[in-house]
Amino acid sequence: MIMKYIFVTGGVMSGLGKGITAASIGRLLVDMGYKVVPIKIDPYINIDAGTMNPFQHGEVYVLKDGTEVDLDLGHYERFIGIELTGEHNITTGKIYRNVIEKERKGEYLGQTVQIIPHVTDEIKSWIRRVAEKSGADICLVEIGGTVGDIEGMPFLEAIRQMKNEEKEEDFMLVHVTLVPLDKGGEQKTKPTQHSVKELRSIGLQPDVIVGRCVEKLRPETKKKISLFCDVPVEAVISDEDTDEIYEVPLKFKEEGLDRYLLKRLKLEKKEERTEWAEMVRRLKELKEEVTIAVVGKYTHVRDSYISIREALKHGGIEAECKVKILWIESEELEKRDEIEIDADGILVPGGFGKRGAEGKIKAIQYARENDIPFLGICFGFQLAVIEFARNVIGWEDANSSELAETDHPVIDLLPEQRKIDALGGTMRLGEIEVTLVPGTMAHKLYGKEKIYERHRHRYEVNPEYKDDLEKHGLVISGYSDNGRRVEIIEYPKNRFYLGTQFHPEFKSRPYAPSPPFVGFVKAALEFKRQRL
Ligand code: GLN
């Protein structure tokens, strides 16, 4: 095992796609036969992303162990093809919590506890611990935020120290910046120069500069960046806008980043893996297209449903069609008496709270009554049970106790969740075993009886109503907790109607798509062909 560190920082502005850059570097290394372990540093003071609003922060991604993290960890899992846990996400909150706990236990032996060395030591030992434990060759660490942010300073200082502690060929820094165009179409390098200056002022010098630009960097732009920022021309890499994020590793390869990484880290290519390139080729060759309506609450925030969007794309690769997403704001549906959704499939994703919930229920009713392929995930699954109870069984007041008080709480808290909530509350999180009922659609899709999927919810199908639901034709095809909790519903009367209490999107990979998504997209494609 060799342990090398690649740090990825960002300059100029946030939202440059640093996470995708880091994930793509990871993919390049995997393709050359190396084992990579990623770490994301989020310099905010929150312990984790669990309490963060998708409006502000994009999707909350859930790891196998139940940690709620930044969506970049989703990119890492999808690009690098690994499963991560909470220790792969460092936040200021976690670092300070450890330092304060040590201080209270007297571990600092009476010293004054300071950012340097105590906080920086904690950061370095966290990174090294995770790296060593992983058995990987290369540890890839992305620092969230922008160089110069006050929150990021202790992390950059820790990295500066590591640079001196590691051998030259075991440490490298990739800096991602913006190269804007001026009115005349000239590629401007000044923002990059300034942000590198900022890095240097804290003792860090980039080894590679990735320039985000709407187009490829021109040779003279690269030369200028090389000269002013003191990196070889071959280490100035274009990161031009692309519609397909999975192409980024391939574009980096065209730019020679793979070769430069090997050279700088003094490594040899061990293998030449091609499955990523093949996947991208398949994706780009897709001709037929299906339209999936996603009915949600934050549909105008591009990042709030990233994993859903990606999982649909993965399903499309398998079903051999492009998936176009029609984003529908559920509150808009609420305002209308009659609704019409022109799509080949309707997906209602996870969510919380009252706002927009009735609009989602309308969309589910529309899908059920018109036999349009339907996939409900978590909140979408719960609302499907409510819709069924209201409009098929006839309990007009059926609801979730999250949303209203009712005589028919078909979605409710289980007694133990009530206890947890009384203590301050947490959700049922992470990977949990689900048992599928032989002969059901879910069983056919997965092709096995035991599956492991990630959860993030508090409410459940109320066990008291299971029999009523089944009597009216809803099939419960997946259970957990020894049959006590309902995990999957389906409605065999329709061509495709599936709801899952868990979030299958978090385990979907471009080369290993999630079965419910594959089934759903295939059904949508068939439906589309019939409609024509
Ligand atoms: N709000 C629902 C619950 O807490 C669903 C959560 C979700 O969709 N992630 O159970």
In degrees to the nearest 10, what's the CA dihedral of 119, 122, 126, 132?
Answer: 130
Cα of 378 from ligand 1 centre, angstroms: 6
Q: Which residue has the tokens 């040779």?
A: 219
Asked if the peptide bond before residue 117 counts as cis, ω within 30 degrees of 0, the response is yes
Instruction: Read off the DSSP letter of residue 328.
Output: E
Q: Whose CA is nearest to atom 1 of ligand 1?
A: 352
Q: Is 430 in the pocket of ligand 1 (CB under 6 A)?
A: no
**458 phi and psi, to 5 degrees?**
-120, -35
Complete DSSP assignment for 124-136: HHHHHHHHHHHT-
- What is the rounded average pLDDT of the residues 79-106? 94
Q: What are the residues whose beta carbons fall under 8 Å from the beta carbon of 434, sequence distance 6 or more?
A: 450, 451, 452, 453, 478, 479, 480, 487, 488, 502
> Could you state, in order of their start, the residue ranges of all structural domains in the chain?
4-279, 286-531
In degrees to the nearest 10, what's the CA dihedral of 315, 64, 296, 354?
Answer: 150
Cα of 386 from ligand 1 centre, angstroms: 14
> What confidence tens digit (pLDDT) does each residue in 195-216 have?
999 999 999 999 999 999 999 9
Q: What is the mean pLDDT of the chain?
A: 94
Instruction: Read off the DSSP letter of residue 511.
Output: T
Give the integer Cα–Cα distance in Å for 66 and 68.
Answer: 6
Which is it for the CA torsion 333, 466, 473, 409, positive or negative? negative
- What is the rounded average pLDDT of the residues 331-339? 90
Q: Whose CA is nearest to atom 6 of ligand 1?
A: 457
Tell me if domain 4-279 and domain 286-531 are identical in fold.
yes
The CA angle 331-336-339, to the nearest 5 degrees, is 100
Give the integer Cα–Cα distance in Å for 391 and 442.
Answer: 24
pLDDT in the model for residue 255 = 96
Q: Which of 305, 307, 352 to mutate to test the pocket of ligand 1 (most atoms within 8 A of CB)?
A: 352
* 228 burial type by CB count under 10 A (0-12 exposed, 13-18 middle, 19+ buried): middle
pLDDT in the model for residue 56 = 67
Q: Is 327 in the pocket of ligand 1 (CB under 6 A)?
A: no
Q: Is 380 in the pocket of ligand 1 (CB under 6 A)?
A: no
Identify the band that residue 191 occupies on the pLDDT scale cut at 50, 70 and 90.
very high
Nearest ligand 1 atom to the CA of 456 is 9
Which residue type is seen at 11? G
Give the integer Cα–Cα distance in Å for 378 and 189.
Answer: 46
Instruction: Read off the DSSP letter of residue 509.
Output: B
User: Is the pLDDT at 12 greater than 90, yes or no?
Assistant: no
- What is the rounded average pLDDT of the residues 398-409? 95
Q: How far is CA 403 from CA 136, 296, 379, 459, in A?
A: 46, 16, 11, 11
Q: Which fold has domain 4-279?
A: Rossmann fold (3.40.50)
Q: How many CB atoms lie within 10 A of CB 189?
A: 26
Q: Which CATH number is associated with domain 286-531? A: 3.40.50.880
Indicate the range of 22-26, 143-147, 444-448 predicted with least confidence. 143-147
Q: Which residue has the tokens 């949303």?
A: 403
503 tagged catalytic: yes
**67 phi and psi, to 5 degrees?**
-70, 135
**362 phi and psi, to 5 degrees?**
-60, -45
Long-range Cβ pairs for the range 468-471 (8 Å, 24+): 468/389, 468/393, 469/385, 469/388, 469/389, 469/393, 469/410
Which residue type is seen at 79? F
> What confidence tens digit (pLDDT) does each residue in 415-469 have?
888 888 777 667 899 999 999 999 999 999 999 999 999 999 999 999 999 999 9
Q: How far is CA 63 from CA 87, 308, 345, 349, in A?
A: 10, 15, 27, 18
Give the integer Cα–Cα distance in Å for 375 and 380.
Answer: 8
Give the integer Cα–Cα distance in Å for 231 and 161.
Answer: 21
> What confidence tens digit (pLDDT) does each residue in 30-80 have?
999 999 999 999 998 888 776 666 666 678 899 999 999 888 999 999 999
Identify the band that residue 532 occupies on the pLDDT scale cut at 50, 70 and 90.
confident
Q: Is 388 in the pocket of ligand 1 (CB under 6 A)?
A: no
